[in-house]
Amino acid sequence: MKLSDRTELVKRLRACLNCLSEFHVISACNSKRSCFVCKKKHHTLLHKYSTPTTDPNVFPSSEPPVASPADMCSVQEVVNNSESNSFLEHSRASFHTNGNCKSVLINSAIIYVKDSQGIRRPLRAILDCASESSFISSNAANVLGLKKQKVNIPICGLNDASININRRISAQISNAKNDSQWDIDFLLVPKISHLSPSKKINVKHWNIPNNVQLADPTFFIPQKVDLLLGAELFFAFLEKDKIKIGNNLFCNLAVSDI
């Protein structure tokens, strides 16, 4: 996606231009992070390069601290988040089901990853527009059997909490049709998240068009998460258009028919 399209999409979603959260604007952003290129208050993916030869999708050669898997944001729904937990309020969208129970709905997709034998294996991924790296669970990495590389990369999260990642794998991911591929470096973590969603969601009355192929057909059933795909791929996976599927619920069209 071009820089102009990325910027237009963020503005259309009324998201923060600095951290890409949908729950506040840039004037209310408390993040200490800024553009890695110019250090100004905007996300690195929204940096406007002065020379046309510079690739806006390439980060500086040094590996900066990246956002943790907890810093997740969703563009799937628009909700009143005034009563949400402070740990999640800037990163996940929640909605009421029955009674006072809440479930969390985040962008998910079934992604195919080549293992050490060249076999494409389906893994469940969540899309995180606030993470500057992609992550894989240790269990999924072991299933793939790909070579693990030693690294020492700091991961910064909420309240400047930091841990070091010491393993990374390189893998090729693709969509179901296998007509789009990406070579991605995944940082290994013990676990991406708990089961997502936390409880089964009743989608019986959601107006999902029959002609739309969902990136994750069973998104409403609690399942384990194998991968977290960061901002590098987040914009590549989203179309500009949305489909309204219910009250305050929107579904983004995914690019490349993931």
For the segment 99-119, the average pLDDT, to the nearest whole number, is 78
Q: Which is nearest to 77 in space by CA: 43, 100, 103?
A: 103
Any idea what the Cα angle at residue 192 is, between residues 190 and 194, rounded to 5°?
105
Residue of 105, 114, 98 whose CA lies nearest to 216: 105
124 or 59, which is more confident: 124
State the span(s) of the chain assigned CATH 2.40.70.10: 108-252
Prior bond of 60 cis (ω within 30°) = no
Distance CA 220, CA 147 (A): 33
Amino acid letter, 186:
F
Tokens read off for 180: 């789009």
The hierarchical CATH code for the domain 108-252 is: 2.40.70.10
Q: Dig out the tokens for 177 from the structure.
A: 């049709």
pLDDT at 150 over 90: yes
pLDDT digits (tens, 9 = 90+) for 19-76: 777 667 888 888 777 777 788 888 877 888 654 434 444 333 333 334 333 333 333 3
The one-letter amino acid code at 138 reads S
